[in-house]
């Protein structure tokens, strides 16, 4: 008489990724947030460019020389970064709010693997959604500009594709920053308030900072890092991709802190 034995399946990072993706896509808030991202994002583009014809006609020679149709159509990032930030925050805080985090930790005892899976899923969704939004906003914006008979751009023009891709990278970095803040704060409201302060309050108060902090502003979201969305060179930010890289290093530092705290604290 033979006895059938089964070998337990070893949990891998792939299993953790699949579990996090299933959890994220099963939340209605995920799809509501993504729908809001595109509805609001494209709506902002349409509203921002609705009077472009009048603005260009009334512009001075200097303003016309600095006319950047690509950047105009991508200004939707200002609102989109908050919405995609909410998505990044909810990847973590939704489980704290419902108490599911304890179950997740029991199912995946290796906490670093669990949080890494959440971060990777958040990054993947943000990359797809962010790049698609930037591309769609650009195409919509250029169609609106063309209809008003003002200078517009094409994807093949110098610097345009780089700006569109840069916009997607920027939004992905914001989503990862939000995921890190959500892990540190463990509360949606606190993480969102901190994110708003980072992307809006600090740049608005930049003029009050001492001179030795000017380098920090060069890599700050919505300031130096956002210069990558333009095609007309800005003398203040001559190398916008370097500024964006500095911002990504800052996001990485926040994520490192989030991983350390997630491993050491009680759930």
Under the banding of pLDDT at 50, 70 and 90, the label for residue 255 is very high
What is the tens place of the pLDDT at every residue in 77-130? 999 999 999 999 999 998 988 888 888 888 888 899 999 999 999 999 999 999
What is the tens place of the pLDDT at every residue in 23-51? 999 989 899 999 999 999 999 999 999 99
HEC profile of the chain? CCCCCCCCCCCCHHHHHHHHHHHHHHCHHHHHHHHHHHHHHHHHHHHHHCCHHHHHHHCCHHHHHCCCHHHHHCCCHHHHHHHHHHHHHHHHHHHHHHCHHHHHHHHCCCHHHHHHHHHHHHHHHHHHHHHHHHHHHHHHHHHHHHHCCCCCCCCCCCCHHHHHHHHHHHHHHHHHHHHHHHHHHCCHHHHHHHHHHHHHHHHHCHHHCCHHHHHHHHCCCCCCHHHHHCCCCECCECCHHHHHHHHHHHHHHHHHHHHHHHHHCCC
The answer to whether residue 261 scores a pLDDT higher than 90 is: yes
Supply the pTM of this predicted model: 0.91
What is the tens place of the pLDDT at every residue in 210-224? 777 777 777 788 778
Under the banding of pLDDT at 50, 70 and 90, the label for residue 1 is very low
What average pLDDT score do residues 227-248 get? Answer: 88
């Amino acid at each position: 008489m033979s006895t059938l034995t089964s070998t337990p399946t070893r949990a891998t990072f792939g299993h953790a990724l699949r579990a996090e993706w299933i959890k994220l896509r099963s939340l209605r808030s995920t799809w509501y947030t993504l729908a809001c991202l595109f509805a609001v994002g494209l709506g902002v583009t349409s509203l921002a460019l609705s009077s472009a014809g009048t603005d260009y006609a009334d512009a001075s020679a200097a303003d016309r020389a600095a006319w950047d149709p690509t950047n105009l159509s991508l200004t939707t990032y200002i609102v989109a970064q908050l919405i995609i930030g909410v998505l990044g925050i909810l990847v973590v805080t939704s489980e704290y709010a419902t108490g599911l985090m304890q179950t997740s930790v029991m199912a995946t005892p290796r906490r670093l693997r669990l949080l890494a899976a959440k971060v990777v899923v958040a990054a993947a969704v943000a990359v797809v959604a962010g790049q698609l939004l930037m591309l769609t906003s650009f195409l919509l914006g250029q169609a609106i500009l063309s209809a008003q008979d003002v200078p517009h751009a094409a994807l093949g023009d110098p610097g345009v594709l780089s700006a569109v891709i840069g916009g997607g990278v920027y939004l992905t970095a914001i989503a990862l920053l939000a995921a890190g803040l959500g892990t540190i704060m463990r509360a949606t409201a606190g993480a969102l308030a901190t994110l708003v302060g980072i992307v809006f309050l600090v740049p608005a108060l930049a003029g009050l900072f001492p001179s030795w902090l000017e380098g920090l502003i060069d890599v700050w979201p919505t300031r130096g890092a956002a210069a990558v969305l333009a095609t007309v060179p800005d003398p203040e930010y001559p190398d916008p991709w370097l500024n964006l890289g500095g911002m990504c290093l800052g996001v990485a530092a926040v994520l490192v802190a989030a991983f350390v705290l997630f491993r050491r604290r009680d759930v």
